[in-house]
Structure 1
Amino acid sequence: MVRFDRYMLSQLMWLFGFFALVLVAVFWINRAVRLFDRLIGDGQTALVFLEFSALGLPRLIATVLPIATFAAAIYVTNRLNNESELTVMMSTGSSPWRMARPVAVFGLISALMMSLLLHLLVPIATEQLDEREVEISQNITSRLLTEGEFLSPAPGVTFYSRTVGQDGVLHDVFLSDRRGTEERMIYTAAEAYLVRNGEGTSLIMVDGLAQRLTNDSLSLSTAKFRDFSFDITTLIRTDPQISTRIVHMTSDQLLTDWAGIAERLNTSEGAVAEELHGRFARAAFCLVTALIGFATLLVGGYSRFGVRREIVIAFLVLIALDGMRGSLSGPVLANAGLWPIMYTPAVLGGVIVCGLLWRASGGRVFRRRLRGAT
């Protein structure tokens, strides 16, 4: 029997890796298209795109992990059932409870992977991703190297360049500065260059025209220039720090002093409790996901018409259990002492699994099929 456990567990892990890889690839491609268009369109490099993609992978993997767990349990159980391996094991005296052991081990492995992601990797990656997004949003130099679009790098400032040469020269530049309350400035130039001057950045415009409109008298004055320097350092935010959020904190930081954390982050104790125990509950749900897939197909037994009905039932059960999380978060957010209800989907799923295994071990349908098989 130990050999059968190792055999079934190896099949579950192999299929789990396959489904996880496929699902991550599908979801990543769908997300990467939008991310690539946004970053490259803002003048960022391919390395920045790869960095953002890597930082988003932990959250993406955490999303597809329960789906891959359920798919692996369904596929392996169905294959063993079609090849009569489960029937043979039952005929030798192995109960459904005993045959569920490798599936439970597989579910625990999946839960440990989910725990590592939710408690450590996802918070760290999310914090780094938010910091990089702030840094990118402050990198006005790369944003100005976007041709053919009217850009607003700061409130009251509009910038446009017709083309950007391979050497970084901006051609046919338009710059409107409406930040002043007394006057408005418009600059047009044949060419422009972005030049770093120490910690500052300047836009050097060549062969252009400056127009100034006085708001009070509505008088317009113009002046031609050969070269003109416009300091864009003031358009860049000088504080690159972002405020810490609950999702940035690892679970060991959330285990104690909920009141202190809530006060420091300007939130409620219920939000801290909901975030912390939501992570534990999602990890525990991975174990339930694997066992529901196995137990549902085991109760259905063998059928020449396939197991589509059982798969649909198992999927709907998981959808219903997972959908409960949204309705349970509200009470916990209002009262941190209600955090045990966050585990309701996992506990209820465990009860359903026990009921299915009990029926498979002693139900009349299963015994009748065994007698027919002998």
Structure 2
Amino acid sequence: MISRFDRYLLSQLMMFFGFFALVLVSVYWVNRAVRLFDQLISDNQSVWVFLELSALSLPNVIRLMLPVAAFVATIYATNRLASESELVVMQATGFSPFRLARPVIYFGLIVALMLSVLSHFLVPMSRARLNERNLEVSQNVSSKFLSEGTFVHPARGITLFIGRIDQTGELGDFFLSDRRDPAAEVIYSSKRAYLARSDSGPKLVLLDGQAQRLDGATGRLSLTRFENFTYDISSFLAPRGSRWPEVEELPTAQLLTADAAALSGIGATVEQARFEAHDRIAKPFLPLALALIAFAALQGGSYSRFGLWRQIGQACGLFLVLFLLSNLADKAAAGRTDLLGLSYLVPASGMALGLAMLAWAGRGRRPGRSGREALA
């Protein structure tokens, strides 16, 4: 049974967690969405494509921000309860730091469950779909070429200009400069042109135009007029075909059981697959460790009329240290199967540190019994 105090503190933690998660995810997501919007608009993509790609990137953004939101929510909720003397009352009734931390543990486990669902299911699925849509966008010929009245550069050494685009799809006042060959630059211009599809890829059909070729060695300029001319544009388009999945897109069970032969087909190694799987298992417990450390840090120390800023600073310092150690452990364990235990080191160390800080905060306190029974 969850006591009245546990329900109260848990509700406070969840409320502030929802608020800070919304703020942090929104700020991080909007920052990425602005860059994505500029890129897609420059490629003449529609707003619907932008919304779809932004939504597909959201699960990974949430996964990154939830541990930070859990830490900030614990700091804020604990500081608020302390400033309003609610924690002081609970301590006076005989609640030890370990007893006070019970709803914090519940809160950390709830966030860990959310992160597990994201890490094992939602993020891999969204990444797979996002990479597929990015490939489709990169192979969209219309978005790369059909831009009226502006110079576009669909590939290195290629400059394209279309004066007008009719409703029938005909291109007017067409200009294309091909400088990919250093020995010769070719400029194609025509009054009319249109895109045509073929088995070997998309083609540009130019009507009533001319081709100017400048020889880089001799400096001679040759001019060729034509009534119709077909230009192959598939050479500077992204190659079509099936896409090999990335390690981050594979299910966790497959990452744990796949052998070297199966992973070599997608350009991955056993070490990469095992690290990704164990990282998905271990990282969801990081919010539990951060919540314990945040709560324990604010329980330690004596009363000060200036508030708990010193304890908050200590918790933030430990937060940064944990994330630094997590990054170092990830780099060390990424390429070696014998160091996969490092994936679990930071969450386990964080939880042990939080429990040790709770024990230190409870030194000298003698819990009573009647007060606890009255509020349990």
Q: TM-score category by the smaller chain?
A: 0.7 to 0.9
1:70 is matched with 71
What root-mean-square deviation, in Å, do the aligned CA atoms of Structure 1 and Structure 2 show?
2.9
Matches for 1:1-374 after TM superposition, within 5 Å: 2-146=3-147, 147-153=149-155, 158-161=158-161, 163-165=163-165, 167=167, 170-177=171-178, 185-196=186-197, 201-212=202-213, 220-225=221-226, 228-233=229-234, 235-300=236-301, 302-363=303-364
- Kept after mapping to 2: 8 A contact 1:144/1:159: no
Q: 1:359 to 1:140 in 2, by over 3 A?
A: same
Q: Are the aligned partners of 2:282 and 2:347 in contact in 1 as well (CA < 8 Å)? A: yes
SS at match of 2:362: helix
Please give the secondary structure, in 1, of the residue aligned with 2:72: helix
Q: Is the 8 A contact 2:160 2:177 kept in 1?
A: no
Between Structure 1 and Structure 2, how many residues are aligned?
Answer: 363
The AA in structure 2 aligned to 1:57 is L
Alignment deviations for residues 43-64 of structure 1 (CA, whole Å, 9 cap, x no partner): 1111110111011111111111
CA–CA distance in 1 between the matches of 2:191 and 2:313?
65
Q: Determine what percentage of the aligned residue pairs are the same residue.
A: 42
8 Å CA contact 1:277, 1:342 repeated in 2: yes
Deviation track 1:100-150 (CA, whole Å, cap 9, x = no partner) reads 111101100111111111112112211221222222112122111234234
**Which stretches in structure 1 are left out of the alignment for 5+ residues?**
367-374
Instruction: State the distance in 1 between where 2:232 and 2:332 align.
Output: 52
Distance 1:83 1:260, change over 3 A: farther
Unpaired segments of 5 or more residues in structure 2? 368-376
Farther off after superposition, 210-219 or 62-71: 210-219
Letter in 1 for 2:223: T
Q: Between Structure 1 and Structure 2, which shows a larger proportion of helix residues? A: 1
What secondary structure sits across from 1:304 in the alignment?
coil
| Amino acid across the alignment from 2:340 | W
CA pair 112-261 structure 1, distance change in 2 beyond 3 A: farther
Distance in 2 (alpha carbons) for counterparts of 1:118 and 1:164: 48
Kindly tell me: are residues 5 and 261 of structure 1, through their superposed partners in 2, closer, same or farther at Cα, counting changes over 3 Å?
farther
Could you tell me how far 1:180 is from its partner in structure 2? 7.6
Distance in 1, Cα, partners of 2:118 & 2:62 = 8
Could you tell me the TM-score, scaled by structure 2's length? 0.86
**Distance verdict in 2 for CA 1:315–1:240, change over 3 Å:** farther
Corresponding residue of 2:372: none
2:370 aligned partner: none
TM-score computed with the length of structure 1 as normaliser: 0.86
Output the CA distance in 2 between the equivalents of 1:257 and 1:203: 45
Q: Quote the Cα distance in structure 2 between the aligned partners of 1:78 and 1:16.
A: 14
Amino acid paired to 2:159: F
* 1:137 partner amino acid: S
Q: Would the aligned equivalents of 1:56 and 1:129 in 2 still touch at CA under 8 Å?
A: yes
Paired residue type of 1:292: I
**Residues 218-246 of structure 1: per-residue CA shift (max 9 Å, x gap):** 76432334554434345444533222221
**Larger RCO: 1 or 2 (CA < 8 Å, sep 6+):** 2
Q: Which moved more, 1:308-317 or 1:253-262?
A: 253-262
Q: Is the 8 A contact 2:258 2:270 kept in 1?
A: no
* Contact 1:161-1:171 within 8 A present in 2 as well: no
Is the alpha carbon distance of 1:358 and 1:215 closer, same or farther for their aligned partners in structure 2, counting shifts above 3 Å?
Answer: closer
Structure 1 counterpart of 2:90, one-letter code:
M
1:5 positional shift: 0.9
